[in-house]
Structure 1
Amino acid sequence: MTETGDRVGLACPSCSPGEPTVHEVLKPGGQATVRCTECDHTHKAEITEPETTDLQVVVSQDDESFSTLVEESPDDRVEVGDEFVVDSPEALLQARITGIEVGPEERAEEATIDEIDTLWTRAVDNVSVDVTLHPKDGEEEHSESLTVNVPGDYEFTVGETESFGEEEFSVEGLQIRDDAPEYRHEKLDHEGDVAYAKDLKRLYGRDETSSAWSAW
């Protein structure tokens, strides 16, 4: 519902009767009191609320998930890979669409909101990145696995050194997730290749903290 202070597009009888301009809502209601931000003219106007429908959304984050309902326009069209804000009692977060369920065991790559039974998503504002870390001077079969937690828009670059707590490693390869926007390859391993943390399935690095590891 429209509230005091909201901004809406409306025709102004004073300066723009034919085209909408931005208005500030002074008093909401059936006949709302609004002020044109172009000429400061105050007048009454009917504000039509956009039609919305409840959409079932499942959000996964690491090994946990929750289901919630969000309000969306029934005519909006979405596709796998799109990102949007999930504003729910459980959390406020940025999510990426990983699956669109349009019927029992029926998936689609894109659909309008009114066609969707359930939207499957993954939180991408903060993510955990799995790292395979090779020893600095050892054999790759002695590699170690670890996880780093970073903002989804954090950039990893092949050839650059990263530090997380006591861990320091150079980035050697970036494995891209299936739901990520189009990258040149599924694995990036050329000097200077860049990917966002939210797009990574796994990162491969070379340890920079010690000269020798023991097998474990």
Structure 2
Amino acid sequence: MSHQRVAVRCPSCSPGSETAHEVLNRGGQATVRCGDCGHVHKTTIETESTVERRVIVSQEGESDEAAVEIPPDADLSVGEEFLVETDAAILTARITSIETTDGSRVEEATAKDAKTLWTRAVGNVAVNLTLHPKDGGHDETRSVKIQVPGDEAFVVGETHEYGGEEFTVERLLVREDATGYDREGYDYAGDSAPAKDLKRVYARDEDARTRAWSGW
């Protein structure tokens, strides 16, 4: 069986910087052999500890519970994304709220102070569309929901096709947990946002069947 190798300082040939050592015997003080000069000495091997934290992942009105291992000093904040494994799948989750050990809800905390991470799955998301007919009438305005990859971008002024719907984006409404935006609504040509950041998309219906119906 091969010995574990670690990076530690050697008092003989490298007291100022770490070099590769072979672990001969573990314990409170491990016995190691320097890979450069062969000097055998005792040292403390630092091991990075982690804390287990509960994660609640919401997706399409349903919630799954999981757990993640995080270094205790890791900084957590709303909007941060990470991979989490639930019983059903491995998901990309975005933090929407952090519950601390004293029961408070905060936007930022270190892992050691966090108890539960409330998150939303953003790998594949449902986007709410409000579509109005091309002729400008509002009696036939309809709301639909389409499933798209979370990173799929919607652009104001561009025509998109998803889930059997064809539409030209007119306004984007971003979610509260989306970061990097200076306002809630965007309606200038060229404005864009990924699906995972959107609360709703307002668009002109380009579906040929809808145009035919609105003409009756």
* Alignment coverage as a number of residue pairs: 204
Q: Offset of 1:138 from its aligned partner? A: 4.3
| 8 A contact 1:79–1:110 mirrored in 2 | yes
| 8 A contact 1:174–1:200 mirrored in 2 | yes
Q: Offset of 1:128 from its aligned partner? A: 0.9
| 8 A contact 2:133–2:140 mirrored in 1 | yes
Residue aligning to 1:157: 155
1:147 maps to which of 145, 148, 159: 145
1:108 maps to which of 106, 109, 112: 106
Q: Offset of 1:98 from its aligned partner? A: 0.3
Larger radius of gyration: 2
Q: Superposition pairs for residues 1-216 of structure 1, below 5 Å?
A: 10=7, 18-19=16-17, 30=26, 48-103=46-101, 106-210=104-208, 211-214=211-214
Tell me how far apart the structure 1 counterparts of residues 193 and 51 of structure 2 sit (CA, whole Å).
35
SS of residue matched to 1:198: helix
Bigger drift between 95-104 and 69-78 goes to 95-104
SS of residue matched to 1:132: strand
Tell me how far apart the structure 2 counterparts of residues 119 and 165 of structure 1 sit (CA, whole Å).
32
Question: What fraction of aligned residue pairs are identical, expressed as a percent?
Answer: 47
Amino acid at match of 1:91: A
Q: Offset of 1:173 from its aligned partner? A: 0.8
Q: 1:17 to 1:212 in 2, by over 3 A?
A: farther
Once the two structures are superposed, what CA deviation does each residue of 1:76-104 show, in whole Å capped at 9, x if it has no partner?
11111111121344431211100111256
Once the two structures are superposed, what CA deviation does each residue of 1:130-169 show, in whole Å capped at 9, x if it has no partner?
1111111142242111111111111110000001243111
Q: Offset of 1:10 from its aligned partner? A: 2.7
| 8 A contact 2:148–2:195 mirrored in 1 | yes
Q: Offset of 1:212 from its aligned partner? A: 4.3
SS of residue matched to 2:199: strand
| 8 A contact 2:67–2:84 mirrored in 1 | no
Tell me how far apart the structure 2 counterparts of residues 17 and 208 of structure 1 sit (CA, whole Å).
71
Q: Offset of 1:53 from its aligned partner? A: 1.0
Bigger drift between 132-141 and 56-65 goes to 132-141
CA RMSD of aligned residues (A): 3.7
Gaps of 5+ in 1: 40-44
| 8 A contact 1:78–1:112 mirrored in 2 | yes
Q: Offset of 1:48 from its aligned partner? A: 4.0
Residue aligning to 2:39: none
Amino acid at match of 1:68: A
Tell me how far apart the structure 2 counterparts of residues 20 and 174 of structure 1 sit (CA, whole Å).
53
Query: What is the TM-score with the length of structure 1 in the denominator?
Result: 0.77
Query: What is the TM-score with the length of structure 2 in the denominator?
Result: 0.77
